[in-house]
Chain A
Amino acid sequence: MTTYDEQSLAELLALLPPAPTAWVRAAQELPLLDKGLGELLERVEADAEFKRRLIADLETALEAEGYDADPAIVDALRARLEDA
């Protein structure tokens, strides 16, 4: 049976530093890529004006372009744009 003293707890905590935030987010977005996020991200990369309008007002810009995006996709896109 493992015994835990403060030193061993400290060592175990130090064994697992966080993965870079962008990597974690990209992995979390995997299920959303086929549901429309992938297409949106490609357009954001290619269309600076679309990107500008999304940054100004995300929901309105998506609606104006006819996107009926899942809330999870909107959240993921917002997070990406905030980092851009």
Chain B
Amino acid sequence: MSAALLIDILLWGSVAAVGFIAFRRGKQVMTASLREGTFDFINIVPRIALGVIGSGYIAAVIPQEVITGWLGPQSGWLGVATAVIAGAATPGGPVVGFSIGAVALRSGGGAPQVLAYVIAWALFAFQRVLLWEIPFMPARFVWFRAAVSVPFPFLAAAIAMAIGKP
């Protein structure tokens, strides 16, 4: 709760800071940005509404056990590859992603595989890409970004295997 409050304070503090800079540049600069930001907001709200209000249903039909199963007994690079796919397929917010990772870690999943899962989830979780990234960014950038990121969960797993951590 307090972490969320802190983030809100930081967030609105940053808005106030850049708003103040814009105000110093002139009133017109500030009103123009305010207008742009508000229109962006109005434009984005229906998409966010659809995604956020609908995401509970998607999470409800892809139960966590399915994903945990994918993170199951395979080890080695096959395990890393399944972990990456599982990360991309995980629905819902951060609680779901990290909880699955924690369950996998406790029930004997290898640390490099769980690491690859968490990183792949952070990079590719389909719901975040479709719901947040594509509405705000040019689609061409999003696909490019995702394609370029593919090697990195594997690289992270390789580093983890090499140093024997976490």
Whether both chains belong to one complex is answered with no
